[in-house]
Amino acid sequence: MDINVWGWLATSLLLLNILLSSVVIFLERKDASATWAWLMVLFFIPILGFILYLIFGQNLSRQRLFDWDDKKKVGIDATIQKQMKDIHLGQFDFRNPHTEENEDLVSMFLKNNDAVLTEDNDLTIYTDGREKFNALMNDMRQATDHIHLQYYILRLDNLGSEIVKLLTEKAQQGVKVKILYDEMGSRGVLKKHFKELTDAGGLVEVFFPSRVPLINLRLNYRNHRKLVIIDGKIGYVGGFNVGDEYLGLDPKFGYWRDTHLRIEGSAVHSIQTRFILDWNQASDSHDIDYSNHLFPQKPSNNDVAMQIVTSGPDSEWEQIKSGYIKMISSAKKSIYIQSPYFIPDASLLDALKIAALCGVDVRIMIPNKPDHMFVYWATYSNAGELIKAGAKIYIYDNGFIHAKTIVVDEKLSSVGTANIDVRSFKLNFEVNAFIYDYDTGQKLANIFEKDMELSYELTEEKYQNRSGVIKFKESISRLLSPIL
Protein backbone atom coordinates (compact mmCIF):
# COMPACT_ATOMS: atom_id res chain seq x y z
CA MET A 1 0.00 0.00 0.00
CA ASP A 2 1.56 3.31 -1.04
CA ILE A 3 2.04 6.41 1.07
CA ASN A 4 -0.94 8.25 -0.45
CA VAL A 5 -3.36 5.50 0.56
CA TRP A 6 -1.99 5.47 4.12
CA GLY A 7 -2.33 9.23 4.24
CA TRP A 8 -5.92 9.03 3.02
CA LEU A 9 -6.77 6.41 5.65
CA ALA A 10 -5.15 8.47 8.41
CA THR A 11 -7.02 11.61 7.33
CA SER A 12 -10.32 9.71 7.13
CA LEU A 13 -9.75 8.22 10.57
CA LEU A 14 -8.97 11.66 12.00
CA LEU A 15 -12.08 13.23 10.44
CA LEU A 16 -14.28 10.35 11.61
CA ASN A 17 -12.89 10.65 15.12
CA ILE A 18 -13.55 14.40 15.10
CA LEU A 19 -17.13 13.70 13.99
CA LEU A 20 -17.62 11.11 16.74
CA SER A 21 -16.06 13.48 19.28
CA SER A 22 -18.60 16.11 18.24
CA VAL A 23 -21.40 13.61 18.87
CA VAL A 24 -20.03 12.94 22.38
CA ILE A 25 -19.77 16.68 23.10
CA PHE A 26 -23.38 17.16 22.01
CA LEU A 27 -24.74 14.22 24.01
CA GLU A 28 -22.67 14.97 27.13
CA ARG A 29 -23.07 18.73 27.09
CA LYS A 30 -24.56 18.77 30.62
CA ASP A 31 -21.54 17.12 32.23
CA ALA A 32 -18.16 18.61 31.38
CA SER A 33 -16.11 16.06 33.37
CA ALA A 34 -17.77 13.12 31.61
CA THR A 35 -17.28 14.85 28.25
CA TRP A 36 -13.54 15.25 28.78
CA ALA A 37 -13.20 11.68 30.03
CA TRP A 38 -14.91 10.32 26.93
CA LEU A 39 -12.87 12.58 24.64
CA MET A 40 -9.74 11.17 26.22
CA VAL A 41 -10.98 7.64 25.49
CA LEU A 42 -11.66 8.63 21.87
CA PHE A 43 -8.22 10.22 21.55
CA PHE A 44 -6.35 7.15 22.81
CA ILE A 45 -8.68 4.53 21.31
CA PRO A 46 -10.07 5.95 18.04
CA ILE A 47 -13.35 4.47 16.75
CA LEU A 48 -13.30 1.66 19.34
CA GLY A 49 -13.67 4.36 21.98
CA PHE A 50 -16.96 5.45 20.42
CA ILE A 51 -18.19 1.86 20.42
CA LEU A 52 -17.43 1.81 24.14
CA TYR A 53 -19.39 5.05 24.45
CA LEU A 54 -22.41 3.43 22.79
CA ILE A 55 -22.26 0.72 25.46
CA PHE A 56 -21.34 2.79 28.52
CA GLY A 57 -22.33 6.35 27.51
CA GLN A 58 -24.81 8.27 29.61
CA ASN A 59 -27.29 10.03 27.38
CA LEU A 60 -27.54 8.11 24.11
CA SER A 61 -31.17 7.25 23.27
CA ARG A 62 -32.16 8.11 26.81
CA GLN A 63 -35.54 9.51 25.89
CA ARG A 64 -36.35 6.56 23.65
CA LEU A 65 -35.27 3.99 26.21
CA PHE A 66 -36.99 5.66 29.15
CA ASP A 67 -40.51 6.33 28.07
CA TRP A 68 -41.88 5.82 31.58
CA ASP A 69 -45.60 6.13 32.21
CA ASP A 70 -46.48 9.12 34.34
CA LYS A 71 -48.17 7.03 37.01
CA LYS A 72 -49.64 8.73 40.03
CA LYS A 73 -48.65 7.26 43.33
CA VAL A 74 -52.22 6.66 44.35
CA GLY A 75 -53.02 7.39 47.95
CA ILE A 76 -49.94 9.40 48.84
CA ASP A 77 -50.27 12.65 46.86
CA ALA A 78 -52.56 14.18 49.46
CA THR A 79 -50.25 13.02 52.27
CA ILE A 80 -47.25 14.63 50.59
CA GLN A 81 -49.02 17.95 50.10
CA LYS A 82 -50.28 17.98 53.68
CA GLN A 83 -46.87 17.16 55.13
CA MET A 84 -45.20 19.88 53.05
CA LYS A 85 -47.83 22.43 54.06
CA ASP A 86 -47.70 21.57 57.77
CA ILE A 87 -43.89 21.71 57.84
CA HIS A 88 -43.89 25.05 56.02
CA LEU A 89 -46.39 26.49 58.51
CA GLY A 90 -44.59 25.01 61.51
CA GLN A 91 -47.62 22.88 62.33
CA PHE A 92 -46.24 19.39 61.72
CA ASP A 93 -46.56 17.19 64.79
CA PHE A 94 -43.20 15.38 64.85
CA ARG A 95 -43.26 12.25 67.01
CA ASN A 96 -39.48 12.03 67.03
CA PRO A 97 -37.28 15.02 68.06
CA HIS A 98 -34.46 13.82 65.80
CA THR A 99 -36.82 14.12 62.82
CA GLU A 100 -37.68 17.70 63.73
CA GLU A 101 -33.95 18.52 63.88
CA ASN A 102 -33.74 17.44 60.23
CA GLU A 103 -36.90 19.17 59.05
CA ASP A 104 -35.06 20.72 56.09
CA LEU A 105 -33.85 17.32 54.85
CA VAL A 106 -37.35 15.90 55.22
CA SER A 107 -38.74 18.83 53.22
CA MET A 108 -36.20 18.35 50.43
CA PHE A 109 -37.16 14.70 49.95
CA LEU A 110 -40.86 15.57 50.01
CA LYS A 111 -40.33 18.17 47.28
CA ASN A 112 -37.96 16.40 44.94
CA ASN A 113 -38.80 12.73 45.53
CA ASP A 114 -42.38 12.44 46.85
CA ALA A 115 -40.82 10.63 49.83
CA VAL A 116 -43.48 10.43 52.52
CA LEU A 117 -42.24 10.77 56.10
CA THR A 118 -43.38 7.89 58.30
CA GLU A 119 -42.73 7.79 62.06
CA ASP A 120 -44.27 4.49 63.15
CA ASN A 121 -41.65 2.01 62.01
CA ASP A 122 -39.69 -0.80 63.58
CA LEU A 123 -36.52 -2.06 61.96
CA THR A 124 -33.93 -4.77 62.30
CA ILE A 125 -30.40 -4.37 60.96
CA TYR A 126 -28.65 -7.34 59.32
CA THR A 127 -24.94 -7.39 58.54
CA ASP A 128 -24.55 -11.12 57.90
CA GLY A 129 -25.98 -12.84 54.82
CA ARG A 130 -27.07 -16.02 56.55
CA GLU A 131 -28.97 -14.10 59.21
CA LYS A 132 -30.62 -11.86 56.63
CA PHE A 133 -31.75 -14.66 54.32
CA ASN A 134 -32.89 -16.89 57.20
CA ALA A 135 -35.12 -14.04 58.39
CA LEU A 136 -36.35 -13.32 54.86
CA MET A 137 -37.27 -16.91 54.13
CA ASN A 138 -38.98 -17.27 57.50
CA ASP A 139 -41.09 -14.18 56.74
CA MET A 140 -41.93 -15.50 53.27
CA ARG A 141 -43.06 -18.81 54.76
CA GLN A 142 -45.59 -16.86 56.86
CA ALA A 143 -46.99 -14.92 53.85
CA THR A 144 -50.72 -15.25 53.25
CA ASP A 145 -51.48 -12.72 50.51
CA HIS A 146 -48.48 -11.70 48.37
CA ILE A 147 -44.70 -11.67 48.04
CA HIS A 148 -43.03 -9.05 45.83
CA LEU A 149 -39.32 -9.67 45.31
CA GLN A 150 -36.91 -7.48 43.34
CA TYR A 151 -33.13 -7.88 43.07
CA TYR A 152 -30.40 -6.53 40.82
CA ILE A 153 -28.54 -9.86 41.02
CA LEU A 154 -30.58 -13.04 41.34
CA ARG A 155 -28.44 -16.11 40.88
CA LEU A 156 -30.05 -19.53 40.58
CA ASP A 157 -27.34 -21.22 42.62
CA ASN A 158 -28.01 -22.99 45.93
CA LEU A 159 -29.40 -19.91 47.70
CA GLY A 160 -31.34 -18.62 44.70
CA SER A 161 -32.81 -22.03 43.94
CA GLU A 162 -33.88 -22.45 47.56
CA ILE A 163 -35.66 -19.08 47.48
CA VAL A 164 -37.40 -19.84 44.16
CA LYS A 165 -38.46 -23.26 45.48
CA LEU A 166 -40.00 -21.60 48.53
CA LEU A 167 -41.77 -19.02 46.36
CA THR A 168 -43.12 -21.82 44.17
CA GLU A 169 -44.57 -23.54 47.24
CA LYS A 170 -46.20 -20.27 48.34
CA ALA A 171 -47.66 -19.75 44.87
CA GLN A 172 -49.13 -23.26 45.00
CA GLN A 173 -50.76 -22.24 48.30
CA GLY A 174 -52.45 -19.30 46.57
CA VAL A 175 -50.04 -16.52 47.59
CA LYS A 176 -49.51 -14.04 44.73
CA VAL A 177 -45.79 -14.15 43.95
CA LYS A 178 -43.98 -11.69 41.70
CA ILE A 179 -40.24 -11.63 40.92
CA LEU A 180 -38.50 -8.75 39.15
CA TYR A 181 -34.79 -8.99 38.33
CA ASP A 182 -32.36 -6.93 36.30
CA GLU A 183 -31.12 -8.74 33.23
CA MET A 184 -27.61 -7.28 33.31
CA GLY A 185 -27.09 -7.98 36.99
CA SER A 186 -28.60 -11.47 36.65
CA ARG A 187 -26.73 -12.46 33.49
CA GLY A 188 -27.56 -15.97 32.33
CA VAL A 189 -30.91 -16.08 34.13
CA LEU A 190 -33.90 -16.48 31.80
CA LYS A 191 -37.64 -16.46 32.38
CA LYS A 192 -37.85 -20.11 31.36
CA HIS A 193 -35.76 -20.99 34.42
CA PHE A 194 -38.81 -20.10 36.55
CA LYS A 195 -41.20 -22.49 34.80
CA GLU A 196 -42.27 -24.35 37.95
CA LEU A 197 -43.03 -21.04 39.65
CA THR A 198 -44.99 -19.64 36.71
CA ASP A 199 -46.86 -22.93 36.29
CA ALA A 200 -47.90 -22.50 39.94
CA GLY A 201 -49.27 -19.02 39.19
CA GLY A 202 -46.24 -16.88 40.01
CA LEU A 203 -45.18 -14.06 37.70
CA VAL A 204 -41.65 -13.11 36.62
CA GLU A 205 -40.53 -9.95 34.83
CA VAL A 206 -37.15 -8.72 33.62
CA PHE A 207 -35.91 -5.15 33.82
CA PHE A 208 -34.47 -3.81 30.57
CA PRO A 209 -34.21 -7.14 28.71
CA SER A 210 -31.98 -7.47 25.67
CA ARG A 211 -33.36 -7.90 22.20
CA VAL A 212 -30.94 -10.78 21.60
CA PRO A 213 -30.97 -13.57 24.23
CA LEU A 214 -27.92 -13.60 26.53
CA ILE A 215 -26.45 -10.47 24.88
CA ASN A 216 -27.23 -7.18 26.58
CA LEU A 217 -25.13 -4.12 25.72
CA ARG A 218 -27.20 -1.72 27.84
CA LEU A 219 -24.75 -1.41 30.68
CA ASN A 220 -26.28 1.82 31.93
CA TYR A 221 -29.73 2.46 33.36
CA ARG A 222 -29.77 -0.76 35.36
CA ASN A 223 -32.15 -1.38 38.23
CA HIS A 224 -29.80 -1.74 41.19
CA ARG A 225 -32.58 -1.90 43.81
CA LYS A 226 -33.06 -4.79 46.25
CA LEU A 227 -36.60 -4.89 47.62
CA VAL A 228 -38.91 -7.48 49.13
CA ILE A 229 -42.45 -6.78 50.33
CA ILE A 230 -44.44 -9.44 52.18
CA ASP A 231 -48.21 -8.98 52.59
CA GLY A 232 -47.66 -5.21 52.51
CA LYS A 233 -46.58 -5.44 56.17
CA ILE A 234 -42.88 -6.33 56.02
CA GLY A 235 -40.27 -4.76 53.77
CA TYR A 236 -36.61 -5.48 53.10
CA VAL A 237 -34.12 -3.02 51.58
CA GLY A 238 -30.34 -2.88 51.56
CA GLY A 239 -27.17 -4.13 49.91
CA PHE A 240 -27.52 -7.92 49.75
CA ASN A 241 -28.33 -9.52 46.39
CA VAL A 242 -29.27 -13.18 45.99
CA GLY A 243 -26.39 -15.60 45.47
CA ASP A 244 -24.08 -17.94 47.33
CA GLU A 245 -21.30 -15.31 47.48
CA TYR A 246 -23.54 -13.21 49.74
CA LEU A 247 -23.33 -16.06 52.24
CA GLY A 248 -19.52 -15.82 52.12
CA LEU A 249 -19.14 -18.92 49.93
CA ASP A 250 -17.08 -17.36 47.12
CA PRO A 251 -13.33 -17.85 47.85
CA LYS A 252 -12.53 -14.79 45.73
CA PHE A 253 -14.25 -12.48 48.23
CA GLY A 254 -14.39 -14.56 51.39
CA TYR A 255 -16.75 -13.28 54.10
CA TRP A 256 -19.34 -10.92 52.62
CA ARG A 257 -20.06 -7.96 54.87
CA ASP A 258 -23.17 -6.00 53.93
CA THR A 259 -26.00 -4.05 55.56
CA HIS A 260 -29.71 -4.74 55.07
CA LEU A 261 -32.89 -3.59 56.82
CA ARG A 262 -36.08 -5.42 57.74
CA ILE A 263 -38.86 -2.86 58.19
CA GLU A 264 -42.34 -3.02 59.69
CA GLY A 265 -44.57 0.05 59.64
CA SER A 266 -45.93 2.59 57.19
CA ALA A 267 -42.57 2.89 55.39
CA VAL A 268 -43.40 -0.49 53.84
CA HIS A 269 -46.11 1.28 51.83
CA SER A 270 -43.42 3.46 50.22
CA ILE A 271 -41.36 0.37 49.38
CA GLN A 272 -44.48 -1.24 47.92
CA THR A 273 -45.18 1.81 45.76
CA ARG A 274 -41.63 1.70 44.41
CA PHE A 275 -41.96 -1.98 43.53
CA ILE A 276 -45.26 -1.38 41.74
CA LEU A 277 -43.77 1.42 39.64
CA ASP A 278 -40.76 -0.71 38.67
CA TRP A 279 -42.89 -3.77 37.98
CA ASN A 280 -45.38 -1.91 35.80
CA GLN A 281 -42.52 -0.42 33.78
CA ALA A 282 -41.13 -3.90 33.10
CA SER A 283 -44.42 -5.71 32.57
CA ASP A 284 -46.29 -5.75 29.27
CA SER A 285 -49.48 -7.42 30.43
CA HIS A 286 -49.49 -7.98 34.19
CA ASP A 287 -49.65 -4.48 35.64
CA ILE A 288 -50.33 -4.14 39.36
CA ASP A 289 -52.99 -1.72 40.52
CA TYR A 290 -52.97 0.06 43.86
CA SER A 291 -55.47 -2.19 45.63
CA ASN A 292 -56.06 -1.57 49.33
CA HIS A 293 -54.92 -5.07 50.26
CA LEU A 294 -51.42 -4.14 49.09
CA PHE A 295 -51.36 -1.28 51.61
CA PRO A 296 -52.88 -2.69 54.82
CA GLN A 297 -53.28 -0.27 57.71
CA LYS A 298 -51.82 -1.55 60.94
CA PRO A 299 -51.76 0.42 64.22
CA SER A 300 -48.22 0.69 65.55
CA ASN A 301 -46.54 1.79 68.75
CA ASN A 302 -43.14 1.89 67.05
CA ASP A 303 -41.44 5.24 66.58
CA VAL A 304 -38.56 4.95 64.09
CA ALA A 305 -38.92 7.78 61.55
CA MET A 306 -37.74 7.40 57.97
CA GLN A 307 -38.22 8.28 54.32
CA ILE A 308 -37.77 5.82 51.47
CA VAL A 309 -35.86 7.79 48.83
CA THR A 310 -35.31 6.62 45.26
CA SER A 311 -33.20 8.00 42.45
CA GLY A 312 -32.39 7.14 38.86
CA PRO A 313 -31.81 8.44 35.35
CA ASP A 314 -35.54 9.06 34.93
CA SER A 315 -35.21 12.06 37.27
CA GLU A 316 -33.46 15.38 36.81
CA TRP A 317 -32.49 15.33 40.51
CA GLU A 318 -29.76 13.24 42.11
CA GLN A 319 -31.88 12.74 45.20
CA ILE A 320 -29.72 10.31 47.15
CA LYS A 321 -26.52 12.24 46.47
CA SER A 322 -28.25 15.46 47.55
CA GLY A 323 -29.33 13.71 50.74
CA TYR A 324 -25.77 12.58 51.44
CA ILE A 325 -24.42 16.11 50.95
CA LYS A 326 -27.09 17.57 53.22
CA MET A 327 -26.31 14.99 55.90
CA ILE A 328 -22.57 15.70 55.67
CA SER A 329 -23.06 19.46 55.85
CA SER A 330 -25.22 19.08 58.99
CA ALA A 331 -22.62 17.04 60.89
CA LYS A 332 -21.34 18.49 64.17
CA LYS A 333 -19.37 15.57 65.60
CA SER A 334 -18.97 12.55 63.34
CA ILE A 335 -19.52 11.08 59.88
CA TYR A 336 -19.13 7.33 59.34
CA ILE A 337 -19.33 6.04 55.77
CA GLN A 338 -19.07 2.50 54.41
CA SER A 339 -19.04 1.98 50.65
CA PRO A 340 -17.42 -0.60 48.35
CA TYR A 341 -16.97 2.05 45.67
CA PHE A 342 -15.94 5.52 46.75
CA ILE A 343 -15.79 7.81 43.71
CA PRO A 344 -17.60 11.00 44.80
CA ASP A 345 -17.99 13.91 42.43
CA ALA A 346 -16.45 17.28 43.32
CA SER A 347 -19.49 18.47 45.31
CA LEU A 348 -19.60 15.48 47.66
CA LEU A 349 -15.82 15.27 47.98
CA ASP A 350 -15.64 18.95 48.88
CA ALA A 351 -18.40 18.52 51.47
CA LEU A 352 -16.39 15.76 53.17
CA LYS A 353 -13.16 17.77 53.02
CA ILE A 354 -14.86 20.79 54.56
CA ALA A 355 -16.34 18.65 57.34
CA ALA A 356 -12.94 17.13 58.11
CA LEU A 357 -11.20 20.51 58.05
CA CYS A 358 -13.85 21.84 60.45
CA GLY A 359 -12.93 19.16 62.98
CA VAL A 360 -15.73 16.68 62.32
CA ASP A 361 -14.60 13.08 62.86
CA VAL A 362 -14.83 11.79 59.29
CA ARG A 363 -14.26 8.04 58.93
CA ILE A 364 -14.62 6.12 55.69
CA MET A 365 -14.37 2.35 55.28
CA ILE A 366 -13.61 0.72 51.92
CA PRO A 367 -12.70 -2.86 50.84
CA ASN A 368 -9.21 -4.32 50.84
CA LYS A 369 -9.61 -5.96 47.44
CA PRO A 370 -10.92 -4.88 44.03
CA ASP A 371 -14.36 -5.89 42.81
CA HIS A 372 -13.84 -3.75 39.68
CA MET A 373 -10.20 -2.83 39.04
CA PHE A 374 -10.45 0.78 37.78
CA VAL A 375 -13.15 1.53 40.35
CA TYR A 376 -10.95 0.24 43.18
CA TRP A 377 -7.95 2.39 42.31
CA ALA A 378 -10.14 5.45 41.81
CA THR A 379 -11.55 4.73 45.28
CA TYR A 380 -8.02 4.47 46.68
CA SER A 381 -7.07 7.78 45.08
CA ASN A 382 -10.05 9.60 46.59
CA ALA A 383 -9.28 8.07 49.98
CA GLY A 384 -5.77 9.48 49.79
CA GLU A 385 -7.08 12.95 49.02
CA LEU A 386 -9.36 12.89 52.07
CA ILE A 387 -6.54 11.77 54.35
CA LYS A 388 -4.82 15.09 53.61
CA ALA A 389 -7.90 16.93 54.90
CA GLY A 390 -7.87 15.01 58.16
CA ALA A 391 -10.31 12.18 57.43
CA LYS A 392 -9.55 8.65 58.59
CA ILE A 393 -9.65 5.85 56.04
CA TYR A 394 -10.12 2.23 57.10
CA ILE A 395 -9.49 -0.76 54.85
CA TYR A 396 -11.82 -3.63 55.74
CA ASP A 397 -9.67 -6.77 56.01
CA ASN A 398 -12.12 -9.54 56.82
CA GLY A 399 -13.42 -10.37 53.36
CA PHE A 400 -15.35 -7.93 51.18
CA ILE A 401 -17.42 -5.02 52.49
CA HIS A 402 -20.38 -4.14 50.28
CA ALA A 403 -22.41 -2.05 52.76
CA LYS A 404 -23.79 1.32 51.65
CA THR A 405 -24.27 3.23 54.88
CA ILE A 406 -23.70 6.71 56.24
CA VAL A 407 -24.18 7.75 59.88
CA VAL A 408 -24.01 11.37 61.05
CA ASP A 409 -23.65 12.30 64.72
CA GLU A 410 -24.98 8.81 65.61
CA LYS A 411 -28.58 9.97 65.06
CA LEU A 412 -29.08 10.51 61.32
CA SER A 413 -28.39 7.60 58.98
CA SER A 414 -28.96 6.13 55.55
CA VAL A 415 -28.90 2.49 54.43
CA GLY A 416 -29.68 1.28 50.95
CA THR A 417 -28.40 0.29 47.54
CA ALA A 418 -26.58 3.45 46.40
CA ASN A 419 -22.80 3.44 46.21
CA ILE A 420 -20.85 6.68 46.31
CA ASP A 421 -20.15 6.98 42.60
CA VAL A 422 -21.54 8.46 39.41
CA ARG A 423 -23.14 5.18 38.39
CA SER A 424 -25.33 5.07 41.50
CA PHE A 425 -26.05 8.80 41.57
CA LYS A 426 -26.91 9.23 37.88
CA LEU A 427 -27.05 6.02 35.87
CA ASN A 428 -28.68 3.31 37.99
CA PHE A 429 -32.03 3.06 39.75
CA GLU A 430 -31.40 3.05 43.50
CA VAL A 431 -33.29 3.15 46.79
CA ASN A 432 -32.18 4.20 50.29
CA ALA A 433 -33.88 4.50 53.65
CA PHE A 434 -33.04 7.82 55.34
CA ILE A 435 -33.56 7.24 59.04
CA TYR A 436 -34.13 9.87 61.74
CA ASP A 437 -33.59 7.90 64.92
CA TYR A 438 -30.94 7.98 67.65
CA ASP A 439 -31.08 4.27 68.55
CA THR A 440 -30.65 3.23 64.92
CA GLY A 441 -27.83 5.71 64.39
CA GLN A 442 -26.07 4.45 67.50
CA LYS A 443 -26.44 0.81 66.39
CA LEU A 444 -24.98 1.60 62.96
CA ALA A 445 -22.13 3.57 64.53
CA ASN A 446 -21.39 0.65 66.86
CA ILE A 447 -21.38 -1.71 63.86
CA PHE A 448 -18.90 0.59 62.11
CA GLU A 449 -16.64 0.66 65.17
CA LYS A 450 -16.79 -3.13 65.46
CA ASP A 451 -15.78 -3.37 61.78
CA MET A 452 -12.81 -1.11 62.56
CA GLU A 453 -11.43 -3.95 64.68
CA LEU A 454 -11.32 -6.03 61.47
CA SER A 455 -9.71 -3.24 59.44
CA TYR A 456 -6.44 -1.36 59.25
CA GLU A 457 -6.07 2.38 58.92
CA LEU A 458 -4.64 3.82 55.74
CA THR A 459 -2.45 6.52 57.27
CA GLU A 460 -0.94 9.41 55.36
CA GLU A 461 2.50 7.81 55.73
CA LYS A 462 1.30 4.51 54.25
CA TYR A 463 -0.44 6.31 51.43
CA GLN A 464 2.58 8.44 50.56
CA ASN A 465 4.78 5.32 50.50
CA ARG A 466 2.61 3.46 47.97
CA SER A 467 4.43 2.02 44.99
CA GLY A 468 4.87 3.69 41.62
CA VAL A 469 2.66 1.03 40.05
CA ILE A 470 -0.20 1.98 42.38
CA LYS A 471 0.33 5.66 41.64
CA PHE A 472 0.08 4.92 37.91
CA LYS A 473 -3.13 2.88 38.38
CA GLU A 474 -4.59 5.71 40.46
CA SER A 475 -3.74 8.33 37.83
CA ILE A 476 -5.46 6.42 35.02
CA SER A 477 -8.46 5.48 37.15
CA ARG A 478 -8.90 9.03 38.42
CA LEU A 479 -9.04 10.36 34.86
CA LEU A 480 -11.70 7.79 34.01
CA SER A 481 -13.67 8.24 37.27
CA PRO A 482 -16.40 10.48 35.72
CA ILE A 483 -17.47 7.57 33.51
CA LEU A 484 -16.84 4.57 35.78
- Domains, the chain, ranges and CATH? 3-60 (no CATH), 115-309 (3.30.870.10), 319-483 (3.30.870.10)
Q: Is there a catalytic annotation at residue 284?
A: no
Average pLDDT taken over every residue of the chain:
85
The whole model's pTM is what? 0.86
The 3-state secondary structure of the chain reads: CCHHHHHHHHHHHHHHHHHHHHHHHHHCCCCHHHHHHHHHHHHHCCCHHHHHHHHHCCCCCHHHHCCCCCCCCCCCHHHHHHHHHHHHCCCCCCCCHHHHHCHHHHHHHHHHHCCCCEEEEEEEEEEEHHHHHHHHHHHHHCCCCEEEEEECCECCCHHHHHHHHHHHHHHHCCCEEEEEEECCCCCCCCHHHHHHHHHCCCEEEEECCCCECCECCCCCCCECCCEEEECCCEEEEECCCECHHHHCCCCCCCCEEEEEEEEECCHHHHHHHHHHHHHHHHCCCCCCCCCHHHCCCCCCCCCEEEEEEEECCCCCCCHHHHHHHHHHHHCCCEEEEECCCECCCHHHHHHHHHHHHCCCEEEEEEECCCCCHHHHHHHHHHHHHHHHHCCEEEEECCCEECCCEEEECCCEEEEECCCECHHHHHHCEEEEEEEECHHHHHHHHHHHHHHHCCEEECCHHHHHCCCHHHHHHHHHHHHHHHHC
| pLDDT tens sequence across 183-235 | 999 999 999 999 999 999 999 999 988 765 555 556 678 999 999 999 999 99
Give strand pairing partners of 365: 338, 394
224 is catalytic: yes
pLDDT tens digits, one per residue of 318-374: 999 999 999 999 999 999 999 998 989 889 999 999 999 999 999 999 998 766 666
Split at pLDDT 50, 70, 90, the class of 49 is low
From the candidates 139, 278, 409, 421, which is the catalytic residue?
Answer: 409
Return the pLDDT at 186: 95
Question: With 0-12 CB in 10 A as exposed, 13-18 as middle and 19+ as buried, what is 141?
Answer: exposed
Looking at 146, 148, 260, 402, which residue is catalytic? 402
Residue 233 a catalytic site member: no
437 assigned to active site: no
Instruction: List the catalytic residue out of 132, 178, 226, 426.
Output: 226
Cα distance between residue 372 and residue 363, in whole Å = 23
Least confident of 28-42, 63-77, 137-151, 458-472: 63-77
How many Å apart are CA 434 and CA 327, to the nearest integer? Answer: 10
Residue 364: the pLDDT is 97
Supply the pLDDT for residue 16. 61
pLDDT (tens digit, 9 = 90+) per residue, 58-109?
454 444 444 444 445 555 778 888 999 888 888 898 988 889 999 999 999 9
For the question of residue 269 being annotated catalytic, the response is no
What's the angle, vertex CA 418, arms to CA 436 and CA 225, rounded to 5? 100
Verify whether residue 321 is a known catalytic residue: no
When pLDDT is cut at 50, 70 and 90, the band that residue 378 belongs to is: confident
Catalytic residue among 98, 146, 224, 411: 224
Active-site pick, 31, 114, 139, 231: 231
In this prediction, residue 397 has a pLDDT band, given cuts at 50, 70 and 90, of very high
Confidence at residue 299, expressed as pLDDT on a 0 to 100 scale:
79
Of 132, 233, 269, 404, the catalytic one is 404
